[in-house]
Structure 1
Amino acid sequence: MKTGIAILTLGYVLSQFYRAFLAVLAPDLTADLGIAAADLSRASGIWFLVFAAMQIPVGWALDRIGPRTTAAILLGVCGAGGAALFAVATARWQIEVAMGLIGAGCAPVLMASYYIFARVYPAAVFATLAGVLIGVGSLGNIAASVPLDWAAEALGWRGAMWALAAVTALTAVGTWLLVRDPEAAEGAVAGSLLDLLRIPAMWAILPMMLVNYAPAAGLRGLWAGPYISEIYDPALVGAVTLAMGLAMIAGNFAYGPMDRIFGTRKWVVFAGNLSGGICCAILWAVPMPGLWTAALLLAAIGAFGSSFPMLVAHGRAFFPPALVGRGVTLMNLFGIGGVGLMQFATGPIHAAAGGGLDGYRALFGVFALALLAGCAVYLLAPDKTD
């Protein structure tokens, strides 16, 4: 299992990279293909929405087919294929199709790991294992900052994407060779998605899941780059996105054991997301606070916005064993779907506010409201630990 988890972690490194790399390539894509940041927000949104939509069939496949076949085929065919299409793209629609394919390819990787954690390891350590996996996998977030900037300069953005297509294909082959499926659970085919939605706790947890990751992913994945470039200095985009990526890694490691330290999952998630909402509200109130303050606030949003594994652990505590695969993918659907919906919305919101500083202020305000609304609903959720 350890070797299989290692290769799935590499796959998740790629997943994190692909959701964040547009922020760094945005200037090159604008210069070569005439694609503006608002257009790229649509392409980024497509990645997240396709990723989210794939969670339904992925959840079924994890419970029925197993993580090995599910992850290897989708990552190899869709992930590597989408990266190759991106490398040869000459128009916006090709970028959008490529991002959709990559989203489908990345869709099963994290959930395959979570499925193995839930089926093989003690429930009490699920949040810690989930947080460590995301923390290590978030190295992809780091790679999609200064290292990608260097690679794009050395190879060109097309050369960098061809290299990524090759790495993705090799990772898919490794997944096929190294991952072992857990033994089938009794009654593993019983129940459906509707059974999960009949659990009352989910109606308070899923709205928080919908918004908790959207500000951090939206800013790190796209808007932090144009914001720093327009308002401060284009030369500092890589450094600021690197700092935000490092903060997100630290946040994932920090969240992991907190349920065992404090004896609660609900209040750890609530406090973190409320703090993230406050940081967004500060940037709404003062959208040009100075470079260092802006960078620190963006990093804080990234760190506080890393509650994803703790939220999955909170929801998983209510799932019957036969529905673990569909349960964790339902949570992921909301988490990633929320990012996709927000990315589709942020382009028009930025434009409607007039672009520039006013546009970014509007974005920070929307992110703040989303987190505060999610926290309000989440107050109704029952707490549960293992």
Structure 2
Amino acid sequence: MPVLARRQAVVVFLAFAFAYFFSALLRAVTATLSPTLSAEFQLQARDLGLLAGGYFLGFAATQLPLGTWLDRHGPKKVILGFLFVAVLGCAAFAQASSFSGLLAARVLCGVGVSACLMAPLTGYRRWFTPAVQLRANSWMLMTGSFGMLASTLPVQWLVPVVGWRPLFWGLAGLVAVSMALIVWRVPAWQAPQAPAEVDAGARASYADVWRHPYFRKMTPVGFFSYGGMIAVQTLWAGPWMVRVAGYEPLQAAGGLFTINICMLAAFWSWGMANPWLQKRGISIDLLIAWGLPLSFVMLGVLIAAGPAAGAWTLALFCVSSTFVSLAQPAVGMVFPASLAGRALSAYNLVIFLGVFVVQWGIGLLIDAFRSGGLTEAAAFRASLGVFLACSVASYAWFLGAGGHNRQQAT
């Protein structure tokens, strides 16, 4: 499939980005709604962690079939089918009358938006040059940060006016609009023309992905550092600010806004820098090796400072974790284009299983430490201490695995 002309590439990017905006908003909105939902449904910390993690459970459950469908049918057909499920999930959430109803709808939302990043990245693998792929990946994540921004103060302002249920009805309608844009602007998928590529794609399977040494090298940091950063950003940052730092709900929403605007700036910067870094031969492995330890330092500062650490400390932790976001397009480029959907989806499965485990695990640990006699603030700090230890161990695996990444498959 030929590389798209600049104008068409921009239009395709914007169509996909519009859908991904709402995917990210749905991912993060529970952090802002957590006080409202906790009060209305009497949720414990473990319930809140499971509710937020339900999105990622649904998301992760689709990744393996998603990759095969993307390679076979292309991003346009696949994302449209999934977004229809997202519309149903938003409608179900708006009508839920119990925690189990909320959880089921949340899982459905996760399933529905699970193609919103993998579909475009699969398309970009064929439609864009390698340098533009890295930029497009970072700017898709930047679009996600816009969605997370929208899930903070705008949601906090809207909920008292319209209520959280009409908010989800509105989201269902906007997701439907994103489907119409994709139908209108995204090109149809064409099978690869080169016989060698067709043969490689037909013979390849997920076993080829799992066995690849570079995939294995990147798996633990994707699970703990990337997944854990999303778990904090999309859920535990809000409760930390309220229950540990003493913020009011509106202040916490403002803090989440600060975190997400910092993430937006970070991903925009990565998008600008990545082509320049690639031209100068600065490898993704080297960037992760030198940059990721900054996130461990900031998480340690957060834990040590406790109630004195608020939105800016959380923002610095999340921003310093973005080094590991470079792993995802790097994994995709190691494999041939005919296997890109499966490679990207398999790595996305690793990341979002990590989000689910860390998100729910922190909630379970908080409740367990409180049952053991710790104060709520101390329980939060101890739980994040366990998360820090796991992240450092995953980084040690990354360093010890050796090897190097290739910017694109031959």
Secondary structure at 1:107 match in 2: coil
The equivalences for 1:179-190 within 5 A come to 179-185=186-192, 186-187=197-198, 188-190=201-203
Distance 1:356 1:144, change over 3 A: same
Q: CA contact under 8 A between 1:16 and 1:141: conserved in structure 2?
A: yes
Q: Aligned AA for 1:268?
A: L
Supply the RMSD in Å over aligned alpha carbons. Answer: 1.7
Structure 2 residue 57 is matched with structure 1 residue 49: yes
Q: Secondary structure at the match of 2:117?
A: helix
1:308 Cα offset (Å): 5.0
**Are 1:196 and 2:206 matched, yes or no?**
no
1:278 aligns to 2:286 (yes or no): no
Residues 290-313 of structure 1, C-alpha deviations (whole Å, 9 max, x = no match): 2xx432210011112223541012
Tell me the distance in 2 between the aligned counterparts of 1:194 and 1:71: 24
Please name the residue that 2:333 is paired with: 317
Residue from 202, 220, 224 that aligns with 1:207: 220
2:68 maps to: 60
Alignment of 1:272-311 (within 5 A): 272-288=291-307, 290=308, 293-311=309-327
**Cα distance in 1, alignment partners of residues 120 and 389 from structure 2:** 32
Q: What amino acid maps onto 2:80 in structure 1?
A: A
The corresponding residue for 1:372 is: 392
Q: Which of the numbers 222, 225, 232 marks the counterpart of 2:238?
A: 225
Residues 151-175 of structure 1, C-alpha deviation per residue, up to 9 Å, x if partnerless?
A: 1121111111111111112212322
Q: 1:91 aligns with which of 92, 98, 106?
A: 98
Tell me whether 313-322 or 37-46 shows the greater mean CA deviation: 313-322
Q: CA deviation at 1:385?
A: 4.4
Match of residue 339 from structure 1 = 355
- Shift in Å at residue 335 of structure 1? 1.1
Residues 332, 381 of structure 1: CA spacing in aligned structure 2 closer, same or farther, 3 A cutoff? farther
Matched, 1:264 2:283: yes
Alpha-carbon distance between aligned partners in 2 of 1:252 and 1:381, rounded to the nearest angstrom: 27
Deviations 1:145-197 (A, max 9, x none): 00111111211111111111111122123223332134322414331010112
Q: Which residue of 1 aligns with 2:164?
A: 157
Give 1:248's aligned residue. 263
Given that 1:24 and 1:238 are in contact with CA atoms closer than 8 Å, whether structure 2 keeps it comes out as yes
Q: Are 1:126 and 2:141 matched, yes or no? A: no
d(CA) in 2 for partners of 1:250, 1:369: 28
TM superposition shift of 1:137: 2.7
TM-score (norm 2): 0.89
What is the rounded CA distance, in whole Å, between the counterparts of 2:94 and 2:223 in structure 1? 31
| Structure 2 residue 404 is matched with structure 1 residue 383 | yes
Cα pair 2:67 2:344 within 8 Å, conserved: yes
Number of matched pairs: 382
Give structure 1 stretches of 5+ with no counterpart: none
Q: How far 1:109 sits from its partner (Å)?
A: 1.1
4+ runs of 1 displaced by more than 6 Å? none
Q: 2 CA distance for matches of 1:151 and 1:63?
A: 40
Contact 1:30 1:36 in 2 (8 A): yes
CA contact (8 A) 2:73 2:189 kept: no
Structure 2 residue matching 1:109: 3-state secondary structure: coil
